[in-house]
A and B are shown apart, each in its own frame.
Chain A
Amino acid sequence: MSSANRGYAGVPAWIYVVAALGGLLVLLPLGAMLARVNWGRFIPLITSESSLTALWLSLRTSAASTILCVVLGVPLALVLARGSFPGQRVLRSLVLLPLVLPPVVGGIALLYTFGRQGLLGRSLEFAGIQIAFSTTAVVLAQTFVALPFLVVSLEGALRTAGNRYEAVAATLGARPTTVLRRVTVPLVLPGLASGAVLSFARSLGEFGATLTFAGSLQGVTRTLPLEIYLQRETDADAAVALSLVLVLVAVIVVGLSRRPSRSTNLGAAP
């Protein structure tokens, strides 16, 4: 890996210039924000009661929606990668829809499903369950937008791994559930982990669907991004300080997902 004897890269010099522009577009705004941080008030601002409440709510709801993403996303990815049934391709496109949908639209869709006048909301209300504008709604909104991240990441890992190990396991007498638990999941664990981390990050940053479907009640539905948006109106320093906290959390999360995978040595059979 020493730079002295690298192989031919085949990258024209001007590509580096354009790439640098692209890098700047991401890094410059972060730097500008960093320059605006009021360091004297930083600690008091991020430890204020409303900030801590929002941060705690964000972490709790994001953890819950990540778990929900894993529970629902693993079977979905398996069915999309390994199953064969009519409408499979259509289902794949539809499941990925939240990736490209404006979150506000997702929030409206959720509202007309689980809201008081919604498709399921009416029946749920009879059962005494009210979802909209509750912490549950926050988790649902975050799961809605984050699920595709897990499904895409895991489906890719499943396709790369192929199903030859599973075939061998089956001929050795393992039931399908045993094969899933002892072969498939361990083989795609790196893909599953990075998918879960991405889902967590997306949940943490979720704003539009949450605001539309869950509102902004302090301690109940006002997550950190909503708190930042609210503070921006009244106290720019607070908004900047909290934004920095989110950037830090995001950097940690991305760092975790980019960690080199363990020596499981997928695909590269000796």
Chain B
Amino acid sequence: MSFRFSATVQSRGFEVSLALGPAETVAVLGANGAGKSTLLAVIAGLLRPDSGQADVDGKVLFDLGEAAAGGIWTAPHRRGTALLAQEPLLFPHLSALDNVAFGPRSAGLSRPASREAARHWLREVDAESLASRRPARLSGGQAQRIAIARSLAANPEILLLDEPMAALDVHAAPLLRRLLKRVLAGRRAIIVTHDVLDALMLADRIIVLDNGGIAEEGPTKEVLRKPRSPFAARLAGLNLLTGTLSGDGITSGDGLHLAGHLEDGGQAGDDGIAVFPPSAVSVFPTAAHGSPRNTLPVTITDLEPHGDQVRVRAGGLSADITPAASADLGLAPGMTVYFVIKATAVSIYPA
């Protein structure tokens, strides 16, 4: 009893295979254009891949060979893959209740029975009082709640969520996230998101897409604690440096050496990854200070506010310092400074 999927879409350089357990929620993360939306569109049957297979609980969604010949292609409405997009896309001519009743009605239920089912799902999302409203008279958060009820009412085998919180304001998003956490429990779902909080709260597992392929996957906490891809590291708010393991640390491709403590017993000469938080990085105008072993000369690319700190971005790494320190040093993009990193804060593990 599971969902298995693999597909290639050559025109978008997309090649992904994944599997989901019966009650598993997976968060799909990645930069824009990494293939997240393509993944959902192929699963939902809105985009036909060049080749691949997918089945859910023994039902074949598609089975397309390498050759152009026929194959199996199940139409979107027979797949049981309800899609919830960024915008709620409630049918504007139907009341909230009839929007939610749309799935049950399409499944062949009578009008009263489908409305009864719709009421149940509106209660589930705490929106029963909105039943008679037209979508034009709902706020963004309310509309997205109705849209969630509508997706659930269709009783999907896989719920596909495409950045469901992205279009909401900061007040509506937390409420909806809690709601999703409640209704996704015990369901199979794939949630595409930009937000690490969504992944932490809603997903059992993370898949990081990059350039149309899977760059990294694993249990959410594991990936965020020990990211192996630059994207996941940025997501977790960590600096990441890849290179070759040596006796006391790691040496990157462009010759930078970083000392730290090796985890999981990697061998010298193996490929490795070093991870450290921006708060463990100090910024100095000259190389003379701090531990001589972990001093990296870098050129500042950006300064940006980060909480009550200033985040200094340079050479793909970040340092968090106080605004006062930034002003004292007179930091500006283009300046060459030295990032000094405490060796004890650097975790190094094999790639």
Indicate if B306 sits at the interface (CB-CB under 8 A).
no
**How close is A212's CB to chain B, nearest CB, in angstroms?**
43
Bound complex: CA A168 to CA B41 (Å): 11
Choose one: A170, A182, A189, A270; the contact of B135 (CB below 8 Å): A270
Q: Which 10 A-B pairs have the closest CB atoms?
A: A174-B106, A170-B76, A171-B83, A265-B136, A172-B103, A186-B93, A172-B154, A173-B106, A170-B77, A168-B89
Categorize the interface residue count of chain B.
35 or more
State whether the Cβ of A109 lies closer than 8 Å to any Cβ in chain B.
no
Using a CB–CB distance below 8 Å, which chain B residues touch chain A?
A: 44-46, 75-83, 85, 87-89, 91-93, 102-103, 106-107, 134-136, 138-140, 143, 150-151, 154, 156, 160
A270 and B106 contacting across the interface, CB-CB below 8 Å: no
Could you count the A-B residue pairs with CB atoms below 8 Å apart for me: how many are there? 84
Q: List 16 A-B contacts (CB under 8 A).
A: A165-B89, A167-B83, A169-B102, A170-B45, A171-B82, A171-B160, A172-B77, A172-B106, A174-B77, A174-B103, A178-B106, A179-B77, A183-B91, A263-B134, A265-B92, A270-B139
A178 to B136, CA, bound (A): 23
Cross-interface CB contact of B77 among A164, A171, A186, A187, cutoff 8 Å: A171
Q: CA separation between A179 and B138, bound complex, in Å? A: 23
- Please tell me which one of the listed residues B46, B93, B107 contacts residue A173 in the complex, with CB atoms under 8 A apart: B107
A264 in contact (CB, < 8 A)? yes
Could you tell me the distance between the alpha carbons of A179 and B76 in the complex, rounded to whole angstroms?
12
The answer for the CA separation of A183 and B79 in the assembled complex, in Å, is 19
Tell me if B76 and A171 are in contact (CB < 8 A): yes
B45: chain A residues within 8 A (beta carbon): 170-171
Q: Which residues of A contact B143 (CB under 8 A)?
A: 270
In the assembled complex, A100 has its CB within 8 A of some CB on chain B: no
Report A's interface with B, CB cutoff 8 A: 164-165, 167-176, 178-179, 182-183, 186-187, 189, 263-266, 269-270
CB distance from A172 to the nearest CB of B (A): 4
* Chain A contacts for B88, CB-based, 8 A: 269
Asked whether, in the complex, the Cβ of A172 is within 8 Å of the Cβ of B82, the reply is yes
Looking at the assembled complex, report how far the CB atom of A7 sits from the nearest CB atom of chain B, in whole angstroms. 25
**Least CB separation from B81: chain A residue:** A171
Contact B44 A171, beta carbon cutoff 8 Å: yes
Contacts of B139 in A (CB 8 A): 270
A24 CA to B165 CA in the complex, in Å? 55
A263 to B92 alpha-carbon distance, docked (Å): 9
Give the CA-CA distance A176 to B151 in the complex, in Å.
18
